[in-house]
Structure 1
Amino acid sequence: MTMNSPISLNRRTLGRLLAGSLLAPGLSALAQPAYPDKPIKIVIGYPPGGSVDYVGRLVGEALGQRLKTPVVIDNQGGAAGAIAAQRVVSSPADGYTLLVGSSNELVATRLVNPAQRYDAQKDMTPLGLIATAPVLLVAGPRAAVKTLPELIELARRKPGQLSYGSSGVGSTLHFAGELLKQRAGIFMTHIPYRGVASLTSDLAGGNLDLAMLSVPAALPFLQSGRITALACTGAQRLAALPKVPTVGEVPALKGYELSGWFALMGPAHLPPAIAQRLSQALQEVLQDPAVRRKLEDGGNVTATGREDLAALMARETRQYAGLVDYAHMRD
């Protein structure tokens, strides 16, 4: 049999094919493109112009610069952010669809609405805390109080006669108000509003006594003197409003703290290398003085991105669950 026989050629060819097949998995892994190699989509569960949208666009742009890839913002409003969160939960775990979400859709909404299909603690990958957003307790002209101790004294003298507004049942603003009532031992009537515009209009116009408001919503009315800031709900005073005390500065309310927050999340089962890449990029973004300044100008307290976000979500789930029962939020 000659070296050029068909049988010999076929054997040599078969050997090369078998060798190639054994090497193929390693070669395939080496050939995988580095993440990211295409645009990343950040989904936001609220319309453009709100606080979550502001934070999401700011962080998205900075992340794109760090990761050297375009970042596209996709606003999917509805159900207090839950529609957007569900979309991310249902997306491929490849790092190209992320959520900049708030404490509302990541913790609160499921406690108020048990029919919600996703559980953020089980169905998402936490990538990093972006910032916390303390709430402001503000008084309108009808309340005629200038400090939190004055309010507590008045509420105790007139149980149930004072009203406070929030952006809706189960919102962070609502939880902040109910925690104040619980800790101070006072009763005020909660008035839920569908939008901040009508809430601030009623407050400034004397149709409502008090309100829990986000800093951006309250600032124009504070600057015009139409409402008064009594306290903020964070652990420390805000850089944007250094003269406004915290609720916890009242001795009887020491330790009170309840703030909204913003976080970067991905679908569950995100590959560890991609999750680490995104987390590291977020930490670098949050160290940028320009980013920090813009976040804090909006009334936020910038995080480091290294906080234990999963532990925060678990802790607040327990706290919020107690407030849901206290305020009968499911009724």
Structure 2
Amino acid sequence: MKRLSRKTVRATLRALFTIALPVCMNQAQAASSYPDRPITIVVGYPAGGSVDLNGRVVAETLAKKIGANVVVENLGGAGGTIGAQKVIRAKPDGYTLLVGSLNEVVIAGLVNPAVKYNGLTDLQSIGLIGDQPLVLAASKLTDIKQASDLVRVAKAGKSAEYSYGSSGVGTSLHMAGEMVNAELPAKFMHVPYRGVSPLVTDLTSGRLALGVFALSSALPQIESGQINAIGVTSAKRSFLAKDIPALAETPALKAMDISVWFGLFGPKGMPADVVNRLQTSLRQVLADPEFQKKYRMTGSNVMLEQPDVAAFLAAEHDKFKKLAQTAHIAVEKP
């Protein structure tokens, strides 16, 4: 093979550098000018739910901190996965983001064979926003009044005689019920519902013994005396209802620790400068006193101390994969 002369090599390198320089400059200019147009935050649920409330409260303050209009797009369906899929497929330029939750980022891919994305690798994490505990409640017509009664029923081998309702198979609420089963151990039977209203109806009538809710959703029924609160599923009590014990306060359930968390994500492959800008702006949002006040009104805790998000998501994936396998609803993927 003929060896090129030094002169030819230098000329070739100059030509390549001349071609590459504008591309690099354009990329640098794009990152440094970000954002120069409105940012869209996709919410994979209809308006009015907990994820939507997160998206709207974050969008309002983020717009002030990052210096651009931020609009919320509700794209409901398939348990939040349609919205997540749209963001994953979006151009990774930082203008299409996702306010996502535990369900569509972690659990959906473990239990739904139709979900083809991996929330841990196909989404770029910008940061966590906050979390909210769930609550296990009971019908006032059942003999389960507190967490110790769950233990009593389980030890007597009678748990299969009791059913618990949730918002659907494979949701975080369903997983919370299965964690109770795994910890005791017990065999409380799962009944999926579509929405809080029919679940409450069956609880108050006594057709259903137990139900798992988002705490903020269940409080009106608990405070009105329609249903009994057995305990929150987080490791500690919630500021929203400090008189409701944590299930983990009962020794047999000390490992109980499930909360629905919310985070800001983008498609993988975003420029590092854009990711850094978004992360800085999100930290400013979380530290804003007015944001904190509004956010707590949604029933959620602000995550001021950010964990290593990659490690956090990996741990959540492992925890819920184990629970899904125990409940025999896990999807084995190659």
What TM-score do the two structures reach when normalised by structure 1?
A: 0.89
Residue in structure 2 matched with residue 272 of structure 1 by the alignment: 272
Residue in structure 1 matched with residue 208 of structure 2 by the alignment: 208
Structure 2 unaligned spans of 5+: 1-17
Q: Which moved more, 1:275-284 or 1:167-176?
A: 275-284
Deviations along 1:38-88, whole A, 9 cap, x unmatched? 000000000000000011100111101111111110000011000000000
Residue in structure 2 matched with residue 243 of structure 1 by the alignment: 243
Letter in 1 for 2:54: V
Return closer, same or farther for 1:30/1:147 CA change in 2, 3 Å cut-off. Answer: closer
Residue in structure 2 matched with residue 10 of structure 1 by the alignment: none
C-alpha displacement of 1:143: 1.8
Letter in 2 for 1:264: L
The count of aligned residue pairs is 313
Give runs of aligned pairs for residues 1-331 of structure 1, distance below 5 A. Answer: 28=26, 32=30, 34-157=33-156, 158-304=158-304, 306-330=306-330
Superposition RMSD on alpha carbons, in Å?
A: 2.1
Alpha-carbon separation, structure 1, partners of 2:37 and 2:281: 16
Alpha-carbon separation, structure 2, partners of 1:235 and 1:315: 16
Superposed structure 1 runs of 4+ greater than 6 Å apart:
20-23
C-alpha displacement of 1:145: 2.7
Alpha-carbon separation, structure 2, partners of 1:97 and 1:219: 34
Higher Rg of the two aligned structures: 1
C-alpha displacement of 1:142: 2.5
Letter in 2 for 1:297: M
Residue in structure 2 matched with residue 5 of structure 1 by the alignment: none
**3-state DSSP class of the match of 2:187?**
coil
Alpha-carbon separation, structure 1, partners of 2:86 and 2:21: 38
Contact persistence 2:183–2:255 (CA under 8 A): no
Identity %: 40
Return closer, same or farther for 1:205/1:115 CA change in 2, 3 Å cut-off. Answer: same
Letter in 1 for 2:308: D
Letter in 1 for 2:59: G
Alpha-carbon separation, structure 2, partners of 1:256 and 1:222: 21
C-alpha displacement of 1:136: 0.3
**3-state DSSP class of the match of 2:291?**
helix
Alpha-carbon separation, structure 2, partners of 1:66 and 1:300: 21
Contact persistence 2:154–2:184 (CA under 8 A): no
Q: Which moved more, 1:43-52 or 1:226-235?
A: 226-235
Return closer, same or farther for 1:282/1:190 CA change in 2, 3 Å cut-off. Answer: same
Contact persistence 1:283–1:306 (CA under 8 A): no
**3-state DSSP class of the match of 1:160?**
helix
C-alpha displacement of 1:22: 9.7
